[in-house]
Amino acid sequence: MSYSSMVEILKKAETGPICLENDFDRKILILKLKEVIKEYDIKFDPDSLIPNDNSLADDVFNAAFELYLETGTLCVSTHRQIKFEEAEIKEALKNAPKHIIFGEGVDKREMTPRRIEDSNPPLCLTSGGGEISEDIYIQVVQSYAQEPLADTVSGGCPLHTIFGVIPKAGAPAEVLASMYNVIYSKEGAKRAGRSGIGFHNLLGTALSSAAYVSASQSELGVRPVDGNLIASLAELKTDYSQLTKALYYSERKNIIPGAVYVPLMGGYGGGPEGTAIVTLAHHLQGLLVHHVAYSDFPVTHLKYSCSTAQESLWCAGIVGQALSRNTHLLTAAEAITAAGPCTGMCLYEIAASSIVGTVSGIHINNASAAKSQYLDRETGMEARIGCEVGHAATGMKRTDANELVKQLLQKYNQNLENPPLGKKFQECYDINTVKPSKEYVDVYMKVKKELQELGLQF
């Protein structure tokens, strides 16, 4: 995307139709969603978590396209809608990146479009999302990077403190912590023997645009083969901070701009039908407003704070299929589990999410454990099972995958309201060797055996 095109977005943010946030949510988004759900007769089927209906996928895409034509994106900093004509959206979809390169040397990986039931394995993005203590941050990143099937890794876990100071958003400590976020992440990859591995998200600590800009510097190890995620505000919103990040990346071209969407199941999108449509519309927003090259999305259930409830899985699957059939956009379904590390439930959840994304024609990102809400509850073992399941599910038919996911859901669905917290990284890994504990390996092997008995061939 060019600098001039970002300038046009900034102009739209200053001159578009005036709209208060409450009016946008209740009088535009919700009303239009109800209209398109009825118009396209979109219905959630709990018995079909991986839908086998191409017409339904196309209907979700068309409904999202129609929704976004009406809503555009609300810039909450100016109280104006950033809107696009139909031709603009189609032109952006036509010219969207068809492939991107993460990493270099032996760790170079290409992200390309996938098809439903694709015989090629998904790109396995690996990461967590919960806060990590600074004294073990390097080891946590290393635990992901050393996994053989990890195609990219992430610095997406925020640093809990930096030199003992909590990095509050907007404070100088946030800038400092974001810079060390990159330094520690790169060191973790180096210790894993994978200095060339690409990062799909470098700055989990950064929230403000100042922190993003300060930490996105080559002197810290940032490369054009690394990526960073710009968040969209739920639902279908942006602000000056996000636009500043997009403008900076568009101008500097020293990092691959990506997007993360966290649509809220049970929020303004309503149930699974509306949430699926909003999730796909967020992909249009990322492309048109933030000018991203790739996307990552966990459909987060408001009740359970995870992306592995049955409604969330259905959303991820139908959105993936809709995008795969109607676009060449590059995106990955992210797993946020309810349960924590070193529990069978956590691994069942990740397996279900990996199967859904793989078979539905998109890439996968595993995984953020324990709802991404607890300190030091992220480990590379979650990535291990997620990557292996993604490769094992490659080429599966939707009908077979659907039955498998339904069986996995039965193993954990009843515990979503009260999931086991599991154990901290310090209890799951030897800090000196960065090897998983025997206890966690045993849990992993038990779940892997069960998956094999259910029909997955590793």
Q: With 70 as the cut, is the pLDDT of residue 2 above it?
A: no
**Mean pLDDT throughout 357-385?**
97
- pLDDT of 3 > 90? The answer is no
**Residues 354-366 pLDDT 10s:** 999 999 999 999 9
Taking only the tens place, the pLDDT of each residue in 257-307 is 999 999 999 999 999 999 999 999 999 999 999 999 999 999 999 999 999
Domain spans of the chain? 100-453
Omega before 309 within 30 of 0, i.e. cis: no
For the chain, the average pLDDT equals: 96
Residue 1: predicted pLDDT: 46
Write down the CATH number for the domain with range 100-453.
3.20.20.460
**pLDDT of 425:** 98
Q: Is the pLDDT of residue 177 over 90?
A: yes
Q: How many helices (H) and strands (E) does the chain have?
A: 16, 17
For residue 458 the two structure tokens come to 């590793």
Residue 254: how many other CB atoms lie within 10 Å: 14
Residue by residue, DSSP assigns 107-126 as: G-EEE----TT-SSPPPEEE
CB contact at 8 A, 348 and 447: yes
Query: φ and ψ at 414, to 5 degrees?
Result: -70, -15
> Which pLDDT does position 155 carry in this prediction?
93
Question: What is the average per-residue pLDDT within 220-242?
Answer: 95
Token pair belonging to 293: 């090259």
Confidence of residue 199 (pLDDT cuts 50, 70, 90): very high
Q: What is the pTM of this model?
A: 0.96
CA distance 208 to 220: 18
- C-alpha torsion sign, points 247, 250, 253, 255: positive
How do residues 388-447 score in pLDDT, each as one tens digit?
Answer: 999 999 999 999 999 999 999 999 999 999 999 999 999 999 999 999 999 999 999 999
Residue with structure tokens 């200053």? 14
Task: Please tell me the predicted confidence (pLDDT) of residue 336.
Answer: 98
Is the bond into 235 cis (omega within 30 degrees of 0)?
Answer: yes
Task: Quote the pLDDT of residue 4.
Answer: 52
Q: What's the pLDDT score for residue 418?
A: 97
The closest of 259, 306, 253, 262 to 286, measured between CA atoms, is 259
